[in-house]
């Protein structure tokens, strides 16, 4: 009896964790899906340009 209860609890916990992981992965990938498809088709995005340093950053660096 106790074995069946513990088995049910274990399946519930691990099932919930798996469903949460799949949901988080889907929520993370879904907004970027068109970008992923464009990259897979060979459309390369332009390079990221670093903004110039501000005077404060230059003063801290030296």
pTM above 0.75, yes or no: no
CA separation for the pair 13, 15 (Å, rounded): 5
Q: Is 42 left (phi over 0), alpha (psi -120 to 50) or beta?
A: left
What tokens were used for 36?
């992923």
Output the tens digit of pLDDT for each of the chain's 62 residues. 999 999 999 999 999 999 999 999 999 998 998 988 999 999 888 888 887 777 775 666 65
Q: Find where tokens 């519930």 sit.
A: 12
What pLDDT does 27 receive?
Answer: 94
What pLDDT does 6 receive?
Answer: 95
What pLDDT does 60 receive?
Answer: 66
């Amino acid at each position: 009896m106790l074995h069946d209860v513990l088995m049910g609890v274990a399946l519930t916990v691990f099932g919930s964790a798996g469903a949460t992981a799949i949901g988080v992965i889907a929520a993370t990938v879904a907004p970027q899906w068109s970008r992923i498809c464009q990259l897979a088709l060979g459309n390369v995005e332009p390079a990221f340009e670093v903004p110039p340093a501000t005077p404060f950053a230059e003063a801290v660096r030296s």
